Amino acid sequence: MKQFDVLVVDDEAEFRDLTVKILNKRGINARGAESGEQAMEILRHALIDVVLLDVKMPGIDGIETLRQIRIQNPLVEVVLLTGHASVESGIEGMKLGAFDYLMKPIELDPLLEKLSFAYEKKRLHQEKIELAQMKKHMAMPS
């Protein structure tokens, strides 16, 4: 599996830390953020491929965070995680451009699978952009 960077955003420390630990063990560069604000801060400086985002959080919630990520880092893929009844919030998140949403409880393997699909999508997308840029450079040599 290719190495990629994941940001786990969840207000519940136990879940966040454990998930980060497991992901790291599986060879994924993961780090945690305890709130939407902190996540935005990290995204501004660090290179992140996929964000695992809890929908229900104190402060700015998952949906709002997602909205800001789309503006600030449009290439970053977001996977929503909800323990909440509201399928609607999952659907709303998808409409806002989330890659997918997962319902708690989710086991490790499906989670990993979903995250790598998200990364794959992001990678392909990025490749296309790079290809286009290359074409641009080749068409217009400086």
Partner 1 sequence: MERKKQYYNTITRRLLIAFFCLSILPITSFAWIMKNSVEETNIFKLQELAKSTIEHRAEVISRFLDDKINLLSSLESLFSQEYLFSQANVERIFLAINRTGDIVDLQVIDVAGNQHAYVGPYRTKVEGKNYNDAPWFTETLISGIHVSDVFSGYRNTPHFVVAVTNSLKSYVVRATINSSMFNALLHSAQLGPNGDVFIVNRKGELQTPGLLEKNTLSIEEKQLLSFDNISNSLVTGTDVYTTRWIHNGHWLLVLRANIKDSLGYYLRLRNRIFLIVIGISFVAIAAATYVSFALARNFERSDKEFAALGLQFSQVEKMATVGRLAAGIAHEINNPLQMITNQAGWIGELLPDEDPAQIKNLDEYLHAVEQIKHHVRRAGTITHRLLGFSRKMTAQQESVQVNDLITETTSFVEREASYNNIHIVTRLASDLPTTMTDGPQLQQVLLNLVGNAIDAVGKEGEVTITTWLEPPDKIVVECADTGPGIPSDNLPHLFDPFFTTKDPGKGTGLGLYISYDIVKKLGGSIAAANRKGGGAVFTIVLPVNRFRRQG
Rg (C-alpha) for the chain, rounded Å, is 16
Q: Which stretch binds partner 1 (CB under 8 A): 14-22, 31-39, 45-53, 116-124?
A: 14-22
Residues 2, 13, 18, 64: which binds partner 1 (CB under 8 A)?
18
Residues 1, 45, 74, 107: which binds partner 1 (CB under 8 A)?
107
| Residue 91 contacts partner 1 per CB under 8 A | yes
| Residue 13 contacts partner 1 per CB under 8 A | no
- How near is the Cβ of 82 to partner 1 at its closest, in Å? 9
Cα distance between residue 92 and residue 94, in whole Å? 5
User: 71 or 88, CB closer to partner 1?
Assistant: 88
| Residue 31 contacts partner 1 per CB under 8 A | no
- How near is the Cβ of 20 to partner 1 at its closest, in Å? 11
Residues 40, 61, 67, 83: which binds partner 1 (CB under 8 A)?
83
The pair phi, psi for residue 6, each rounded to 5°, is -120, 140
| Residue 74 contacts partner 1 per CB under 8 A | no
For residue 52, give the 3-state DSSP assignment.
Answer: strand
Residue whose structure tokens are 């879940």 = 15
Could you tell me which of 41, 47, 77 has the C-alpha nearest to residue 60?
41
CA-CA-CA-CA dihedral for 14, 118, 109, 6, to nearest 10: -30
Cα distance between residue 34 and residue 40, in whole Å? 11
Tokens of 63: 């949906």
* Contacting residues toward partner 1, per CB under 8 A: 12, 14-15, 18-19, 21-22, 25-26, 83-85, 87, 91, 103-108
